[in-house]
Amino acid sequence: MTVLSELAEQIYDSELGFGGSASERQAEINLITDWLGAHLGEFNTLTHSCFTLSDLSLFSLEESAILREMYLIHYYKKRGRLLLRMVDGSSGELDFQTIREGDSVITKTNKNEAARNYRLLTELAQGNLSDLVSGYNMYRAPPRQITGDDADA
């Protein structure tokens, strides 16, 4: 099992676990793994690193946390866009909030509120990603200039 597939399993199980069948779970994990691999270059750009798919032996918890937040941002944006398609009527389904008939009441989920929640989740994940990347870059960066007693002889 590769580092990215392990990370994909962790993302699915802890963040997205929908409780489907084992084959549905594996299919989703495969999609997440492929997304993580495809965006490794973006990760390298953010962190000023040069990881490759063929050698992720130095990939640690810090790198995994950054890549995880990158995926969550993608996931929340995607889910928000899907909900907005339903809100604007392009999905073709009937749009109602509450139907009452006698003693019976049917209340449908408010898609506008759900889309707003996805936007808030995206903003939160982007803040987390920004904090993780700045901390990673600050603590992993070698000094640019050495002077005084620290300089090599």
78-82, 88-92, 145-149: the lowest-pLDDT one = 88-92
Whether 48 maps to a domain, the answer reads yes
Helices (H), 19-92: 22-38, 40-47, 61-87
Domain span holding position 30: 3-140
Residue 20: inside a domain: yes
Is the pLDDT at 23 greater than 60? The verdict is: yes
149 inside domain: no
Confidence of residue 84 (pLDDT cuts 50, 70, 90): confident
Whether pLDDT at 53 is above 90 = no
145 lies in a domain? Answer: no
Q: Give the C-alpha separation, 143 to 138, whole Å.
A: 10
- Which DSSP symbol is given to 149? G
- Is residue 147, in this structure, part of any structural domain at all? no
Please tell me the distance from the alpha carbon of residue 69 to that of residue 142, in angstroms, as a whole number. 25
Average pLDDT of the residues in 129-134: 92
For residue 135, being part of any structural domain is answered with yes
CB atoms within 10 A of CB 62: 15
Positive/negative CA dihedral, 67, 73, 76, 78: negative
| Model confidence, pTM | 0.76
Of residues 67 and 55, the one with the higher pLDDT is 67
